Structure 1
Amino acid sequence: MSLIGVWQRAEQGVMRKILQAGEGLMMMEVRFEAGAEGYAHSHPHEQMTYCLDGKFEFHIDGEQQLLNAGEALYIPRGAVHGVRALESGGLLDTFTPVREDLLGADDLEARANRKSKGLKRSTGE
């Protein structure tokens, strides 16, 4: 099953949708109810987060950072990070390399086929 373009529950009060996954870059929208949390975790991917709307409190390697609509922040590879929505809102997350751990089996197969054929574009189909 493809998970690109499909809303999924990530945590209590948190929904995510993978918008696109290319060869080395992936974009995802994440929506939060007020007070919802994305629990502390780390991954070997660089991450940029852009606040679409709302207000968020991030903790990145023990440091707090507030993020408001129209602002962005960088999360380095391996950094332990989490977020709490101070009000309902959304984030646009971009990862490099692609977070294959979040993709569905069909998405992974399509990526493998594109690589073997030398294609560079993800259609999300």
Structure 2
Amino acid sequence: MSNIGVWEPAEPGVKRKIMEPGKTVMMMEVHFEEGAEGYQHSHPHEQMSYCLKGRIAFTIDGVTTEISAGDSIYIPSGAVHGVKALEPSALLDCFTPVREDLVRR
């Protein structure tokens, strides 16, 4: 069953919606309740995250950077990263290549 365009739970207090992917790039929107966390992980994909609203603390390879609405951040391939929402927040995440581990077609 496809999860494209459907809101689904990710971690506690976090939900995501995966957009229709292209051949080599994809996007997903992620909403966070205040205090919710996206757990530390890594993947071989490059990632750009754009903050749609709120404030998010990103930790990338042990370095924490705070972004807020209108800011973006780059996560290199293989970097260990996670986030914490400092207030109710939303991100638009872009990945290349497509995260086949997230996309159910």
Which consecutive unaligned segments of at least 5 residues does structure 1 have? Answer: 108-125
Q: Distance in 1 between matches of 2:59 and 2:42?
A: 12
* Shift of residue 20, structure 1, vs aligned partner: 2.2
Q: Provide TM-score, normalisation by structure 1.
A: 0.83
Kindly indicate whether residue 13 of structure 2 is the aligned counterpart of residue 36 of structure 1: no
The count of corresponding residues between Structure 1 and Structure 2 is 105
RMSD: 0.5
* Shift of residue 89, structure 1, vs aligned partner: 1.0
Alignment of 1:20-31 (within 5 A): 20-31=20-31
- The one-letter code of the counterpart of 2:79 is A
Select the structure of larger CA radius of gyration: 1
* Shift of residue 5, structure 1, vs aligned partner: 0.3
| Greater fraction of residues in helix | 1
The 4+ residue runs of structure 1 with deviation greater than 6 A are: none
Q: Provide TM-score, normalisation by structure 2.
A: 0.99
Kindly indicate whether residue 100 of structure 2 is the aligned counterpart of residue 77 of structure 1: no
Alignment of 1:1-125 (within 5 A): 1-104=1-104, 107=105
Which consecutive unaligned segments of at least 5 residues does structure 2 have? Answer: none
Q: Distance in 1 between matches of 2:67 and 2:7?
A: 23
* Shift of residue 103, structure 1, vs aligned partner: 1.0
Where 2:101 maps in the other structure, the secondary structure is helix
Superposed CA deviations along residues 35-76 of structure 1, whole A, max 9, x for unmatched, are 000000000000000000000001000001001000000000
Q: Distance in 1 between matches of 2:76 and 2:20?
A: 21
Identical columns (%): 64
